[in-house]
Amino acid sequence: MLQELKVSQFAIIDSLHIEFQNGLNILSGETGSGKSVLLKSLGLLMGEKASADIIRTGSQQAVVEGSFNLKKRTDIKRKLIDAGIDCDDNQLIVRRVIATGDKSKVYLNGSLSTVNQLREMVAPMIEVTGPNAPLIEMTGQHDNRNLLSKSYHLDLLDQYAGHWDKRKSFEEKFQSLQALRTEIADFEKQSQNKSQRLDFLKFQYQEIKNLNLDPANDMTLEDDIKQMKSSHRILQFVDQCENLVYSDEDSISTRLKLIQKKAMELSTLAPQIAEKTNKLSEAQAILDDLIYELRQDLKKINLDADSLEEKENRLSVIRKLQKKYGTDLEMILQEFDRMKKEISDLENSDEHLEKLKKSAAQLELDLKHKAEDLHSARSKSAIKLVNDVNKELLDLNMKGVTFDIQNSKLDHLNSTGLSDVEYLCQISAKDVKRPIAKVASGGELSRILLSLKKCVGQSDFPRTYLFDEVDTGVSGTTAEKVGRKLKSIAKGQQVICVTHLPQVAACGDVHYSINKSMKKDSISMDVIELKTKTRVEEIARLISGEKITKTSLAHAEQLLSESH
The domain tally of the chain equals 3
pLDDT for 285 equals 85
Task: List phi, psi (to 5°) of 62.
Answer: -115, 145
* 235 belongs to a structural domain: yes
Please tell me the distance from the alpha carbon of residue 458 to that of residue 465, in angstroms, as a whole number. Answer: 12
- Are 471 and 545 in the same domain? no
Of the candidates 301, 327, 343, which is a domain's last residue? Answer: 343
Question: Is residue 130 pLDDT above 60, yes or no?
Answer: no
Share above pLDDT 70 across residues of the chain, in percent, rounded to a whole number: 90
Kindly list the strands in the beta sheet with 402-414, ordered across the sheet, starting from the edge strand earlier in the chain: 402-414, 417-426, 434-435
Do 226 and 332 fall within a single domain?
Answer: yes
- On whether both 326 and 221 belong to a single domain, the answer is yes
What digits encode the pLDDT tens for the residues 381-437?
999 999 999 998 888 888 888 999 999 999 999 999 999 999 998 888 888 898 887
Q: At residue 51, what are phi and psi to the nearest 5 degrees?
A: -125, 145
Any domain includes 49: yes
**Residue 110 pLDDT exceeds 80:** yes
Residue 127 pLDDT greater than 50, yes or no: no
- Please indicate, yes or no, whether residues 475 and 556 belong to a single structural domain of this protein: no
**pLDDT tens profile 352-371:** 888 899 999 999 999 999 99
pLDDT over 70 (residue 158)? yes
Residue 410 belongs to some domain of the structure: no
513 and 547, same domain (yes or no) = no
pLDDT tens, position by position, 84-104: 888 878 889 999 999 887 788
pLDDT, greater one: 490 or 317: 490
Residue type, 474: V
Three-class DSSP category at 180: helix
DSSP labels, 227-270: HHHHHHHHHHHHHHHHIIIIISTT-HHHHHHHHHHHHHHTTTT-
β 510-519/23-29 pair status = parallel
CA 444 – CA 228 distance, rounded (Å): 87
**127 and 245 fall within a common domain:** no
71 and 46 belong to one structural domain: yes
389 residue type, one letter: V
Residues linked to residue 417 through DSSP beta bridges, in sequence order: 414
The strand pair at 61-69 and 510-519 is best described as unpaired
**What's the confidence (pLDDT) of residue 141?**
41
Q: Do 471 and 492 lie in a common domain?
A: yes
**What is the residue-averaged pLDDT of the chain?**
82
Q: How far is CA 562 from CA 483, 498, 510, 558, in A?
A: 12, 21, 15, 6
Distance CA 76, CA 445 (A): 27
Residue 460: pLDDT band by 50, 70, 90 thresholds?
Answer: low
Residues 223 and 257 placed together within one structural domain of the fold: yes
Q: What is the DSSP letter of 55?
A: B
Give the helix/strand (H/E) hosting 419: strand 417-426
Chain CA centroid to CA 532, Å: 43
> What does the pLDDT look like over 486-538, one tens digit per residue?
898 888 788 888 888 899 999 999 999 988 877 766 777 888 999 989 999 99
Q: How many CB atoms lie within 10 A of CB 180?
A: 18
Distance CA 433, CA 461 (A): 32
* Among candidate residues 343, 376, 401, the one where a domain is terminated: 343
pLDDT score of 246: 83
Compute the distance between CA of residue 83 and CA of residue 86 in angstroms, rounded to an integer: 9
In a domain, 426, yes or no: no
pLDDT band at 132 (very low <50, low <70, confident <90, very high): very low
In a domain, 433, yes or no: no
223 and 101 in a single domain? The answer is no
In our burial notation (b when 16+ CB lie closer than 10 A, e otherwise), range 10-39 reads bbbbbebebebbbbbbbbbbbeebbbebbb
- Residue 555 lies in domain: 531-564
Residue type, 388: D
Q: Residue 416: inside a domain, yes or no? A: no
User: Does 325 map to a domain?
Assistant: yes
Question: Do 523 and 535 share a domain, yes or no?
Answer: no
pLDDT in the model for residue 142: 39
Indicate whether 119 belongs to any domain.
Answer: yes
What's the pLDDT band for 546 if we cut at 50, 70, 90? Answer: confident
Which of residues 318, 343, 368 is at a domain's end?
A: 343
Q: Are residues 304 and 246 in the same domain?
A: yes
